[in-house]
Amino acid sequence: MNQRFRVTFFSVLITTLVSLGIGGFALQDSHSAAIRQVDSRLNFVIQAALQNNQDLLNAALFALEAGRIDATVVLVTPRGEQIPLTQASQRFVVDTTSRNINSSVKQAISINSENPYRMKSIPLPEKEFLVVAISTADLEKDWRQNFSRLLAFLFLANLLAIALSFILLRNNSRKLEQQSLLRMQRFLSDAAHELRTPLTVIKGYSELLGSHKIETKEDQEKAFTRVDHEVKRMESLINDLLLSAELNEATHLDFEKYDISASLKTHLQDFEILSPDRVIESTIESGLHMKASGDHIDRLIQNIFSNIRRHTPVSAPVIVQLKSKGKEVQLRIEDGGPGLPEDAYKKASYEFERFDRSRSRDTGGSGLGLSIIAAIVKEHSGSISMSKSSLGGLAIHIQLPIK
């Protein structure tokens, strides 16, 4: 649901920004062009008046008639009194304060009032001014109408974006759910098969022992050893299944400060003691702390090293690297073993995956190690990728955020 909300939110945000950007630019450009036309009429009247210095007033009025310009022309006396010379069809009161007069001498200015207009002034002898003003009420009305149309278009575009996002996300969610269900079904099928195998062995030996068909003490001890081995394997599988279900059911919230550098060094020391024939190259940046579930990160590291011990030759080399990059901790562990099947490296998700179904029988493990590693990484909002190692085996690259 959160992913759907984020995708829908960003779709609406992008649609809004694009629509406002394009529509707003076009609207403002159109409005500016209309204002420039008004200024062109004002300049035409002003220039006509200036070209006839002996009779400025009549020249200005003649320019209005010649250009069919609907404008208000007033003469402002030194005392600030207005003498109307002509009145525009859309009546408005010209504000001839000294501030507006002085500003409009340099260039045309806009006056925002109940009836907005543009005005320009000409200084006359004896401290008088000739003011020419043209109403912009129609322009402002058109701008407001166009802006309302833009908002209506934006509303419809956002509705369409939400509908398309919902449809696409629903279809994509169904596909993901189907893929997850198929992985889960295969996962449960494998788990059931693995549980059935030790149960069958235990049941068989129990029946033989119960019916006294195994008579010698030596054979009985072998049978008990075999049963004990299968019980431990089944216990390991059940524990891994429970942990995997716990990790994939909900996000772990009670994270604490965790020194991943110290923990990795400790696990690496244990690994070196248990693997004396390996050449191990390590580069571990000290003092890297993060918010995490310490038990689960410990289990992640243990699983990686356990997988290497189980599935690679005892003399296979190993490279361990831990470093920080930006707001992330990056862990990379490579081995010189046989690696995974080729199609395993291309997978987008490693949850509910068991890449080699024969491994658990040969080594006593559950075969769920990589699945648990992927689930722990997901729990910590990190990412994991697996590739062919430079040593010839498996390279696991894990990125975890420093929260």
**Per-residue pLDDT tens for 201-216?**
888 888 887 888 887 8
Which segment of 211-225, 254-268, 346-360 scores lowest on mean pLDDT?
A: 346-360
The pLDDT score that the predictor gives to residue 251 is 53
Instruction: Find where tokens 């250009």 sit.
Output: 67
In the predicted structure, residue 362 carries a pLDDT above the cut 70:
no
**For the chain, what is the mean pLDDT?**
83
The pLDDT score that the predictor gives to residue 126 is 83
The mean pLDDT of 94-100, rounded to a whole number, is 90
The pLDDT score that the predictor gives to residue 183 is 65
In the predicted structure, residue 93 carries a pLDDT above the cut 80:
yes
The mean pLDDT of 304-310, rounded to a whole number, is 89
Q: Could you tell me which residue, 322 or 16, shows the higher pLDDT? A: 322
The pLDDT score that the predictor gives to residue 350 is 54
The pLDDT score that the predictor gives to residue 352 is 45
CA nearest neighbour of 11 among 156, 151, 158: 158
In the predicted structure, residue 359 carries a pLDDT above the cut 50:
no
In the predicted structure, residue 164 carries a pLDDT above the cut 90:
no
The pLDDT score that the predictor gives to residue 154 is 81
The pLDDT score that the predictor gives to residue 72 is 92
Q: Could you tell me which residue, 35 or 346, shows the higher pLDDT? A: 35
Contact 327, 402 (CB under 8 A): yes
> What is the tens place of the pLDDT at every residue in 379-388?
888 998 888 8
Q: Could you tell me which residue, 191 or 91, shows the higher pLDDT? A: 91
The pLDDT score that the predictor gives to residue 2 is 58
Contact 181, 19 (CB under 8 A): no
The pLDDT score that the predictor gives to residue 357 is 45
The pLDDT score that the predictor gives to residue 15 is 75
> What is the tens place of the pLDDT at every residue in 125-154?
888 999 999 999 999 898 889 888 888 888
Q: Could you tell me which residue, 37 or 379, shows the higher pLDDT? A: 37
Confidence of residue 217 (pLDDT cuts 50, 70, 90): confident
In the predicted structure, residue 66 carries a pLDDT above the cut 80:
yes
CA distance 16 to 285: 45
Quote the percentage of the chain above a pLDDT of 90.
30
The pLDDT score that the predictor gives to residue 232 is 80
Letter string b/e over residues 189-228, b meaning 16 or more CB atoms within 10 A of that residue's CB: ebbeebbebbeebbeebeeeeeeeebeeeeeeeebeeebe
Rg (CA), the chain: 41
For domain 252-403, say whether CATH 3.90.79.10 is its number: no
CA nearest neighbour of 111 among 59, 60, 49, 42: 42
| Helix runs in 250-289, H state only | 260-274
The mean pLDDT of 186-198, rounded to a whole number, is 70
The mean pLDDT of 317-335, rounded to a whole number, is 93
Contact 191, 371 (CB under 8 A): no
Sketch the domain layout of the chain as residue ranges. Answer: 2-141, 252-403
Which whole-number Å values give the CA distances from 43 to 39, 67, 71, 118, in the listed order?
6, 12, 12, 11
In the predicted structure, residue 374 carries a pLDDT above the cut 70:
yes
The CATH architecture one would assign to domain 2-141 is 2-Layer Sandwich (3.30)
> What is the tens place of the pLDDT at every residue in 230-272?
888 787 777 777 777 666 655 555 788 999 999 999 999 999 9
Contact 329, 305 (CB under 8 A): no
The mean pLDDT of 8-23, rounded to a whole number, is 78
| 2-141 and 252-403 agree in CATH topology | no
